[in-house]
Chain A
Amino acid sequence: MWTALVALAPLAAASWWVRPGKWRQVLLLAASYAFYAVFGVSSLAVLLASSLLNFGCGAFIRARPIAGRLWLGIAANVSLLGFFKYLPPAAAAFEAPLAVELARVALPIGMSFWTFQALSYLFDQYREEDLRPSLLEFCLYMGFGPTVLSGPICRLPDMLPQFQHRPPFSWSAAGAAARRIWLGLFMTSLARILGGGIRGGHGLDFGFAQPAFALHASGVWILAIGYGFQLFFDFAGYTHLAIGAAQLVGFQPPENFNRPYLSTSPSVFWTRWHMSLSFWIRDYVFLPLASARRGIFWRNFSLLSSMVIFGLWHKATAPFIAWGAYNGALLVLHRQWQAAAIRFSWDPPPAFWEPFSWVVTFFSICAGWILFRAASLKQAGEMLTRLVRPADYALPVLPAELTLLVLSLALAYFALDSLRLLAGRLSWSSGGPVELKAACYAVMTYVIFFNGVKPQGFAYFQF
C-alpha cells in the first residue's frame, strides 16, 4: 500500500497544475482507481459498478422523487453490501457447494464506507437538494483515494464544490497537511504498540487472548481502557492520514474525531467519535425514524434502533449488535436522566458534576469496547461479569508492562488534550517554539519507526 501511495503521489500532486478542472478530476480519479486496484481489481470492479448504479439511481430519483424510487435505491445498495459483507459469514455456516462458494466472496475494502456515501446521495436526491454531479464527479466522490478505504464518510454537498473549484496552492497548507500525516502515522504506531506490546507478545492482543477465568476486574478494565485507546489511536490516526492526504491535493473531507474521551455524556461522545458515521446515522436513520411518531417510548426506540444499526454497520455478529444496543441503552439512560433532572429542577454544581459525568461516561464507553473487541458474546459476557464482582478487584492484574503502557498512554493523552483545551490553540505539532516542536517530532519519529512489535493492519480496514 505504501509503495503504491509513494508511486501515485506525483500523479496526485500534478493535479494542482492541471487545467482545466475536468482534467484535474480525471487525473484524481485515475490516481484513486490505481490506488484502489492495489487491493484487488475485482474490488475496483465492484466500486465502479456501485458508482454507475447509484449515479443511475440518483438520476431516477431526481426525475421523480417518490419514496418508492428511494426504497428501490436503498434496496439495491443494501443488497450489494449484504451480498459482499453479510452473506459470506452467514454462508460459512453451511456445507452446500453454493454456500462454500459464497463464503469465499471477499468484501471489497471500504465498501461499507462508500456504500453509505452512495446512500446519502440518494437521500439527498429524494430531499430534492440541488445536486447535479457529472458521472466523473460522482465516480470521484465514490472512489476518492484518500477516503475510499476507511472514510471519513463524505457527503456530496460538501465534496462537489471542492471537486469543481480548486483552491490556490499554499505551502503553509501543504505543510499543515504533512504534519497531519505525520501525526496520523504516530497515532497508528501507538495503536500498533498497544496491540503488540513494547516487548512483542505482551500487548492487548495477548490480554484478550487470555481465557476469561484468568482475568480479574482490574485486568479487564486495563484491557477495556487500553482497547479504547488502541481503537482511537488507530482510527483517529488513520483519519489524520486520510484528511492529510486529501489536504495535500486541495480537499477538506469532514472530521471524524474531536477529543471523544473528554466527553461528559454518552450523547456528547457520539457527536465526537466517528463523527461522519454518527452524523450519517443521525441524519438518515434516527431523525426520520424519531419524527415518524411522537412519544418518549418511540424516541427511545429510535435511539436504540439507530445504535443497533451502527453496530450492524461494523459487522453482523452478536457482539457488534450487543455493542450497538449497549450504546443505545446508554443514550436512552442519559436522555431519561436529563428529563428527570429537568422535571425535578436538579442543577448540581458543575465543578462537582462535570468530573463525575466524565468519569461515568469514560468508564461506561470503555466497558462497551469489551463487546467490540471480544471474540464472542460469551467471552464478552464473562469479562463484563468480572467487572461487577467486588472481590475480583483485589486480585492480580495483567503483566506489569501492559498495565504501565496503557495507563501511561491514557494519562499522556488526557494531559495533552486537557492542555490543548485549556490553552486554546497550543498544539504540540503546529504551535510552540521550534525547539519544542523538534523534541516532539523526535519522539513521534521514533515511535513511528519503533521496531519492537510486528506490523499490523488498520483495525477499520475490516469494516
Chain B
Amino acid sequence: MRPVITAIRFALAAAIFVMGLEVCARLGDLAVYGAPFSGSYSSENLFLRDALGKRGRPGGSYRQWQMNSLGFRGPEIDWSRTRIVCFGASEMFGMFEDPGDELPRMIERDLNSRPPARYQVVNAALPGESTATAIRRVPEIAATVRPAFAVIYPSLAPYITLSAIGHEGAQGAPDAPRFEWRLPEWISDVVKARLPMRAMIWYRQYQIRKGSAGHRLMDRLPEKNVQRFEADSLALIESLQSRRIEPVLVTHATVFGDKVPVDDRYLMLTWRAFYPDLKEAGFLDMERRMNDVLRRLAARHGIPLIDLAAVMPPSRRYFADAVHFTDAGAELAAAAIAAGLRPALAGENAPDRPDSSDAAGNGTSTAPKLRSAALSRHVSP
C-alpha cells in the first residue's frame, strides 16, 4: 500500500509542479505584458479570420504588439493628418523593435521631425502577408483609412511556394478565445534563448530536412514565381491608383547583401527553415530578381521607388535576423523611406515642406539621392 501512496503523492507533486509553472507563466504575462490571467494568450490575439483571410483584430494585444480599434498596429487614426498606409509582412509590422520603434512609427517620427506634425503612418502590414493577400485588403483599407499614399514593402519569400500564395491565414486558429496552455510557448522561448548556437543550427537543419522531405528542392526560384510576383505587384499598384492612393515601392533588404558571410550562415538557415524548398543559394538570387521587378515596375509606371536593398548596409547592427530590423535598422530604413516620401509629400503640400527641394518630382527612381542622404546621416564608421 505504501509504494502506491508514495507513487500517488509523487504524481500529485508532478502535477502541482506543472500547474505551478503554468500559473507562474500566466502571472509573468500579466506582470510583463498586462495579459489576462485567464483565457488564451497567443499571437492569435492579434488577428481575426474573415472571408478574405487573416486581418488585424481591433484592440488585440499580445506581448509588445498592440492593435488599434481598426485592427492596425499603432495608435488610433488622427483624421486631421495626411495618412500614409504601409503594406507588407512582418518586416513592416515589426518583430524585434521596441514598441513604438517599428518601421512605420519611425517613418512617421522622421516625417514629423519638423513641426507641425502633419502625417500619420498607418501600419496595415500583417505578419506572413503576401502582395496577393494585400490586394484583397485594399478596398477596405482605402475606405477606413482614406490614405493619400501607400508604402509597399513586400515580403518576397512567400512567392517561393506558389500554391500558398493568396491563402495566407485562410486557415488558422479559431477566433473565439479558449483555454490554451501557456507552458509550451514559455518552454519554447526558454530553450530558444539558451540553447548553444551549435544546437540551434542542428535544430534548424532538422527543421529544413523535415520540411523539405518528399519535395523537389529548387536551386533557383522558377521564373513563373517571379512573374506571379510582378503580376500581383502591378495589381496592387493599380488597385491603389484606382482609389487615388499614390503607391511608393520599396525594395526588400536583407542582412546578407550580395553574399552570405560565414558568420551569418545561421541567419540564412533560420530564414530557410520557413521556406525549405529553396536551396540557400537561391535566396539571394530571388531577392535580386524580385527587387529588379520592383525597380522595373517603378520605372515603367512612374512610381516613386526607394531602393532600400541598396541603402541598408549588410550588418547585424541593423537586422535582428535575416530580414527583420533592429531598432537601429528600423531607424535607418525609416530615414531612407521618409526621404523618399518627402518629394511626393511635397507635391501634396508644396508650400509647407522646407526640404521640398529634394523632390525628384518626375516619378522616377530617387534611389541614388536617398542612398547618399540616408548613409550620410546614419552610417557612421
Give per-residue flags for A430-441: 1 if the beta carbon is below 8 A from chain B beta carbons, else 0: 000011011101
- Contact check, A434 vs B17: say whether CB atoms are below 8 A apart: no
Task: Kindly state the separation between the CA atoms of A3 and B195 in the bound complex, as whole angstroms.
Answer: 10
Selected interface stretch from A133-141, A205-213, A448-456: A448-456
- Contact check, A198 vs B25: say whether CB atoms are below 8 A apart: no
* Contact partners of A441 in chain B: CB under 8 A: 17, 20
- Contact check, B24 vs A443: say whether CB atoms are below 8 A apart: yes
Task: Kindly state the separation between the CA atoms of A449 and B191 in the bound complex, as whole angstroms.
Answer: 9
Chain B stretch 2-16: residues in CB contact (< 8 A) with chain A: 9-10, 12-14, 16
| A–B complex contacts, Cβ < 8 Å, 10 sampled | A434-B10, A437-B13, A439-B16, A442-B19, A442-B21, A442-B23, A443-B20, A446-B25, A446-B186, A449-B190
Is A199 at the interface (CB under 8 A from chain B)?
yes
Known: A434-B13, A451-B189. A445 touches B21 (CB 8 A): yes
- Contact check, B13 vs A452: say whether CB atoms are below 8 A apart: no
Closest residue on chain A to residue B32 by CB atoms: A452
* Contact partners of B25 in chain A: CB under 8 A: 446
Question: DSSP class of B's interface residues: helix, strand, loop or mixed?
Answer: helix
Q: How far is the CB of A409 from chain B (nearest CB, A)?
A: 13
Which residue among B12, B14, B18, B20 has the maximum number of chain A CB atoms within 10 Å of its CB? B20
Task: Kindly state the separation between the CA atoms of A443 and B20 in the bound complex, as whole angstroms.
Answer: 7
* Contact partners of A442 in chain B: CB under 8 A: 16-21, 23-24
Known: A441-B17, A451-B193. A434 touches B9 (CB 8 A): yes
Known: A451-B189, A451-B190, A451-B193. A438 touches B17 (CB 8 A): yes
- Contact check, A438 vs B189: say whether CB atoms are below 8 A apart: no
Is B184 at the interface (CB under 8 A from chain A)?
no
Q: How far is the CB of A441 from chain B (nearest CB, A)?
A: 6
* Extra pairs beyond A443-B24, A452-B32 (20, CB < 8 Å): A198-B32, A199-B32, A434-B9, A434-B13, A435-B9, A435-B13, A438-B14, A438-B16, A438-B20, A439-B17, A439-B20, A441-B20, A442-B16, A442-B24, A445-B17, A446-B186, A449-B190, A451-B189, A451-B190, A452-B31
Task: Kindly state the separation between the CA atoms of A183 and B20 in the bound complex, as whole angstroms.
Answer: 17
* Contact partners of B13 in chain A: CB under 8 A: 434-435, 437-438
Q: How far is the CB of B15 from chain A (nearest CB, A)?
A: 8
Give per-residue flags for B26-45: 1 if the beta carbon is below 8 A from chain A beta carbons, else 0: 00100110000000000000
* Contact partners of B20 in chain A: CB under 8 A: 438-439, 441-443, 446
Chain B stretch 230-279: residues in CB contact (< 8 A) with chain A: none
How many of B's residues come within 8 Å of A, CB to CB?
23
* Contact partners of A199 in chain B: CB under 8 A: 31-32
- Contact check, A446 vs B24: say whether CB atoms are below 8 A apart: yes
* Contact partners of A439 in chain B: CB under 8 A: 16-17, 20
Give per-residue flags for B166-203: 1 if the beta carbon is below 8 A from chain A beta carbons, else 0: 00000000000000000000100110011010000000
Task: Kindly state the separation between the CA atoms of A443 and B31 in the bound complex, as whole angstroms.
Answer: 15
Q: How far is the CB of A149 from chain B (nearest CB, A)?
A: 20
Task: Kindly state the separation between the CA atoms of A443 and B9 in the bound complex, as whole angstroms.
Answer: 19
* Contact partners of B16 in chain A: CB under 8 A: 435, 438-439, 442
Task: Kindly state the separation between the CA atoms of A451 and B24 in the bound complex, as whole angstroms.
Answer: 12
Task: Kindly state the separation between the CA atoms of A401 and B19 in the bound complex, as whole angstroms.
Answer: 26
Task: Kindly state the separation between the CA atoms of A3 and B198 in the bound complex, as whole angstroms.
Answer: 12
Task: Kindly state the separation between the CA atoms of A450 and B189 in the bound complex, as whole angstroms.
Answer: 10
* Contact partners of A198 in chain B: CB under 8 A: 31-32
Q: How far is the CB of B337 from chain A (nearest CB, A)?
A: 27
Task: Kindly state the separation between the CA atoms of A401 and B20 in the bound complex, as whole angstroms.
Answer: 23
Known: A451-B190, A451-B193. A435 touches B12 (CB 8 A): yes
- Contact check, A446 vs B21: say whether CB atoms are below 8 A apart: yes
* Contact partners of B193 in chain A: CB under 8 A: 451
Q: How far is the CB of A382 from chain B (nearest CB, A)?
A: 30
Task: Kindly state the separation between the CA atoms of A452 and B18 in the bound complex, as whole angstroms.
Answer: 20
Contact of B28 among A3, A438, A452 (CB under 8 A): A452
Q: How far is the CB of A431 from chain B (nearest CB, A)?
A: 14
Q: Kindly list the 8 A-B residue pairs having the minimum CB-CB distance in the complex, ordered from nearest.
A: A442-B20, A446-B24, A438-B13, A438-B16, A438-B17, A449-B190, A434-B13, A442-B21
* Contact partners of A446 in chain B: CB under 8 A: 20-21, 24-25, 28, 186
- Contact check, B196 vs A3: say whether CB atoms are below 8 A apart: yes
Task: Kindly state the separation between the CA atoms of A439 and B10 in the bound complex, as whole angstroms.
Answer: 12
Task: Kindly state the separation between the CA atoms of A446 and B9 in the bound complex, as whole angstroms.
Answer: 22
Chain B stretch 186-224: residues in CB contact (< 8 A) with chain A: 186, 189-190, 193-194, 196
* Contact partners of A438 in chain B: CB under 8 A: 12-14, 16-17, 20
- Contact check, B28 vs A450: say whether CB atoms are below 8 A apart: yes
Task: Kindly state the separation between the CA atoms of A434 and B13 in the bound complex, as whole angstroms.
Answer: 6
Task: Kindly state the separation between the CA atoms of A198 and B30 in the bound complex, as whole angstroms.
Answer: 11
Closest residue on chain B to residue A447 by CB atoms: B24
Task: Kindly state the separation between the CA atoms of A13 and B31 in the bound complex, as whole angstroms.
Answer: 40
Which residue among A434, A437, A446, A447 has the maximum number of chain B CB atoms within 10 Å of its CB? A446
Task: Kindly state the separation between the CA atoms of A94 and B193 in the bound complex, as whole angstroms.
Answer: 42
Task: Kindly state the separation between the CA atoms of A266 and B13 in the bound complex, as whole angstroms.
Answer: 42
* Contact partners of A437 in chain B: CB under 8 A: 13
Q: How far is the CB of A267 from chain B (nearest CB, A)?
A: 39
* Contact partners of B10 in chain A: CB under 8 A: 434
Give per-residue flags for A412-447: 1 if the beta carbon is below 8 A from chain B beta carbons, else 0: 000000000000000000000011011101110111
Task: Kindly state the separation between the CA atoms of A451 and B194 in the bound complex, as whole angstroms.
Answer: 10
